[in-house]
Amino acid sequence: MTKSNARLNRKAGEIRDWLLDQGMFIGDLGVALTQLCERIVEAGVPLARSATAVQLLNAANQGIGREWHLGGTSIERLYPYGPETEQTYERSPYAEANRTGEWVEIRPLESPLNAYGVVPGLKAGGYTHYVCIPLAFSNGRRRNGITFATKNPSGFSANDFAFFRAIIPAIRCVMEIRAGDRILKDILHTYVGGDPHHRILAGDIHRGKVTRIKSALLFSDLRGYTNLSMDLAEEDITDLLNRYFDCVVPEVESRGGEVLKFIGDGVLAMFQEHDGNATEVCTQALAAATSSLARIARANTFGSLPAPLIAGIALHYGEAAYGNVGSGERLDFTVIGRDVNIANRITRLNGRLHRPILMSAAFAAHVEPDTQFLGVFELKGVPGEHGLYAPA
């Protein structure tokens, strides 16, 4: 073995150790890729470009990619669901590598432009040798990989390839573990929301425990949903619900609110109070309600919907109480309590009072003087009489 080979072997071992120790704990995977590539270059491999691709379980994006160039930092790209992403993947070396399980080598300067989608960019960048390595994860997810490219006139050497083969198992291990963490967080965030998913991952999974959070609560209800669901095909009612949620959810989230639950045709959201800023969160909740109804009006005018959308929104200030309820190992991390019930019951009066937005007295007190008192009403199942307000 030559001194050069011995040095590469030693450096490969050092990089494996680094990946499975320090590299495992780098929170930003773009930073991790940059540091990995810099170590590869330091080892003497003429690396000039590297990229990774990982398959996700995410409601909006089917994959994530990161790309590093010599002398720079990594950039991140998300790949949303859709035919364009699928076409890009099928024209990439990743598709062939994942189908065959073999490394795909390209000599860009000698390859036709239509060989793969990446070839024109590699050729324009002066890259002489490129390899795409499939990374099949143990959970069966196979659309993952890493690529290396060089501008060295003679390309990568046999020793360089041996170096890559020595470090790939550690790279695969780290990428799978970190991808699993990302998928777990994405799935929890998708189904239970931002704050609940953090609480669950932090260990808040004990049945009976309740956490109270002062918040402005927004409950949006699609009026006439029962009749619509009887008259429309399941595909049409699903499309209608998604269009309706598309009008409400972005307006809530853009103002710092969080959707806690989709309850049939209802949306329950909260604007969490911090440092006693009740007026601020109530103001943001009212703005979200107003803009949501404006989006619904535009959707009815221009959206070619299966049926018109009519929504009623209730606003209340109180406590969002999280609780784990269920039996045995089957729990639901849900929102419970008196204030949630009040917000829900107020929506029953939107149609009767012909008001698209109704506010409780507790909420209205924080957005005065922009309110109009409507009177005192009973709320089904909630003791006492309750003053209700509408935006002035």
pLDDT in tens, 339-355: 999 999 999 999 899 99
* pLDDT value at residue 3: 63
Q: CB of 281 within 8 A of CB of 272?
A: yes
For residue 336, give the nearest of 354, 351, 319 by alpha carbon.
319
pTM of the model as a whole: 0.79
Q: Which two tokens stand for residue 95?
A: 């598709």
* pLDDT value at residue 22: 92
* pLDDT value at residue 1: 53
For residue 338, give the nearest of 325, 324, 323, 328 by alpha carbon.
323
* pLDDT value at residue 256: 94
Low-confidence ranges of the chain (pLDDT < 70): 1-4, 303
* pLDDT value at residue 369: 78
Buried b (16+ CB within 10 A) or exposed e, 268-290: bbbbbbeeeebebbbbbbbbbbe
